[in-house]
Amino acid sequence: MMLFIRECKKIFHSLTFIIYFAAVILMFFTQFWPEMDEPVTSSTIDSYELAKISGEPETIMPKALDSLTGCYFSNTYRCYPYGLFKAVHLNSRDNDKIRDCITEMSSLNADELEELKAASSISHVKVGTNELESYNVKGVPLSVDITYERFREIMGEVDDILGGGSDYRPDDLAYKFSQEPMTHEEILEQYDEFMEKDHIAIAYGRLFSDYLGIILAVIPVFVAAALVTADKRTKMNELIYSRRISSFRLVFTRFAALVLTMVIPVLLCGAIASARIMYMYKGSTPDIAGAFAVSGKWLLPNIMLAAAMGMFISELFSAGMAILVQFAAWFMCMMMTSMPLYGHIRRFTFICRHNSLFYRSEFMKHYSDFIFSRIFYTAAALAAVLLTVFVYELKRGGKFNGIMFFGKDSIFRHKT
Amino acid sequence: MALCFLARTVYSDIRHNFLPHYLLAAAIVVITPLFFSVSELDSRQAAQPLEMIISLTGTVLLTPVFMPEQNESIRDLIRSKKAPYLLTCMIRLLIGLLLLAVLTGISVLYMKKCHSQVTFRHFTGTAASAMALGSIGFFTAGVSNNVIIGYMASLLCYILNFIARDKLGIFCIFSMMNGSYDEKKWIFVLSFALILSVFMYFKLIRKY
């Protein structure tokens, strides 16, 4: 217990923790706080301009097929493989594969497609530096035999041919081709869910976790890396190595201290948000405990994994490598986040997004995936800590001194 | 004599301390076209890979300038040498800035070759963004004497821009993506002030 308290004190006094604390508070007040300007009421909810994704195959299939056919005619496909725009122009072989996909989904053969191309009106759209011909295609007849499952499969093939990130990615089809504004009645249903099922606070808890989860997936790595390398900087390594304490106890105590200290600013923000919610919704009974429960499940694995990776990679390579790896992982997760920012949580989603107080049913649809991902990343964090124990033990025994790519201890340097 | 000192410093630093950083910065430039389209983009689209990815070379090149002397033994050894310590740091910084300009230039020219609508403004704008990220890291690493804090500050600034660039006003480093160039002169001035203040801090407070 003494060791744990000492490690906590060490972290509290470190500059990295102070910056971490400031970053969490900054994120809370700049991103989440403005969402609590005024309470949601049945009369103000219309201002949220909610959209619904019908997800009905009868809506999706004709629209997606028309869009793909138009892109095939102009051989220009808009893709966002890593979040950034990419205009894809296929070679004739790959474009023929797209044609085959279209002919399978529609009741047209290749010759009829050519006839449709000739009959379609052309407008000019600016794509990048080019002004390209855009075919206005409407009403391509669907094949009577095509099922929605097969349609999704074919669209998956199309997305693969295009290199990913296209409008035709099966998971995005519903969002891209069946989005429409909600009716007043549907908006009121959202309000009922907000009041009756989310008990106000749980909806705020999800939004709070959405914002804070973004930075908690990366900044704990700095605090962890700084803690691990502090021994080396202060030349305390050898002294600690010679102590009787087991590597398992030392590393796990440090990890627990890191996680606990880094949870504190999150709890503080949660408490401020709770006070604000109770003030805004006087007369109601917001489920504050439920909000803390959802935020805990959501954010704790992010903090744990980022901290554990920071410890493990810093011990194995260096602090710089830990920062590089975690930042690269964070960047890719962020760039590959699908729109809309709700309803996309899957089994291996690390940075979970639900950027709305509403759409509870979309969140609950994938709730088991959400729980799976949280358990998975918690287990991954614990595995990384166990590996850190192993590396630390090797270092203590003098059998290993970390992997270096450069310098006199480089693994590439021939030792005589 | 001065040239000889310069050459020795450059060679020694590259060999012992900065090669991984220079290679990483070059790797960022090389891998960008593999993941993101750089062909046939209009002015705003071209600013996306430049500001969001190439600007990270600033963090990689400028933040670790004080890194070798984080080891106290090396710091004492360096300070015992005849050559002024701050001059050594300045040379490292200038090499970092030079490389930053070269890598940004290569990226912009490559995009030009790929028929993207890039101009000299894209070059200066990206270099200013990279310099801003780098100088924040350089400043915090220098003042805190901890390069991890430097990376943390620099990348936090990047993350803040990533999440809330519309709210940052003149401190937005991704402004070209929104079609605005005015912010660049402010972040350039800020970068210069941060770099200058680190040297002032070392000279006047730490008495180096």
Query: CB-based contact (8 Å) between B70 and chain A?
Result: yes
SS3 A414: coil
pLDDT score, position B138: 95
Locate A257 and state its tokens.
Answer: 């201290």
Does residue B1 surpass a pLDDT of 70?
A: no
SS3 B180: coil
Alpha helices in A217-246 (DSSP H): 220-233, 237-241
Average pLDDT, rounded, for chain B: 87
Contact (CB, 8 A) for B61 and B21: yes
SS3 B114: coil
Does residue B88 surpass a pLDDT of 70?
A: yes
> Which of A78, A128, A90 lies closest to B111, judged by CA?
A128
Amino acid at A96: D
Locate B85 and state its tokens.
Answer: 């310590």
pLDDT score, position A253: 94
pLDDT score, position A165: 81
Minimal Cα distance from A408: which residue of B? B16
- Specify the range with the lowest mean pLDDT, choosing from A228-232, A351-355, A407-411: A407-411
Confidence of residue A83 (pLDDT cuts 50, 70, 90): low
| Omega cis (within 30) before A340 | yes
Confidence of residue A128 (pLDDT cuts 50, 70, 90): low
The tens digit of pLDDT for each residue in A145-186 reads 889 999 999 999 999 998 888 889 888 888 888 888 888 888
> Which of A291, A290, A299, A270 lies closest to A370, judged by CA?
A299
Locate A361 and state its tokens.
Answer: 């049913």
Contact (CB, 8 A) for A163 and A79: yes
Length of chain B: 208
Does residue B71 surpass a pLDDT of 80?
A: no
The tens digit of pLDDT for each residue in A1-24 reads 788 898 899 999 999 999 999 999
In this prediction the pTM is 0.83
Portion of chain B with pLDDT greater than 70, in percent: 96
> Which of A120, A4, A143 lies closest to A67, judged by CA?
A120
Contact (CB, 8 A) for A357 and A40: yes
Contact (CB, 8 A) for A102 and A62: no
**Would you give the DSSP letter of residue A87?**
E
Spatial distance between the Cα atoms of A282 and A295, rounded to a whole number of angstroms: 22
pLDDT, mean of residues A69-97: 82
CA-based nearest distance B82→chain A, Å? 25
Portion of chain A with pLDDT greater than 90, in percent: 42
CA-based nearest distance B185→chain A, Å? 25
- Specify the range with the lowest mean pLDDT, choosing from A238-247, A278-287, B167-176: A238-247
Which residue, among B14, B149, B152, B174, would best test binding to A if mutated, counting the most A CBs under 10 Å from its CB? B152
Does residue A127 surpass a pLDDT of 70?
A: no
Alpha carbon separation from B65 to B61, B62, B94 (Å, rounded): 8, 6, 10
pLDDT score, position A294: 94
**Dihedral angle sign, alpha carbons of residues A334, B133, B8, B77:** negative
pLDDT score, position A375: 96
pLDDT, mean of residues A250-265: 95
Element (DSSP H or E) covering residue A130: strand A130-136
Confidence of residue A407 (pLDDT cuts 50, 70, 90): low
**Would you give the DSSP letter of residue B120?**
H
Locate A412 and state its tokens.
Answer: 């590439």
Locate B70 and state its tokens.
Answer: 């984080």
pLDDT, mean of residues A381-394: 93
- How many CB atoms lie under 10 A from the CB of residue B29? 18
Write the ipTM.
Answer: 0.88
Which residue, among A85, A237, A333, would best test binding to B if mutated, counting the most B CBs under 10 Å from its CB? A85
CA-based nearest distance B189→chain A, Å? 24
Q: Give exposure, A374-387, as e/b (b: 16+ Cβ within 10 Å).
A: bebbbebbeebbeb
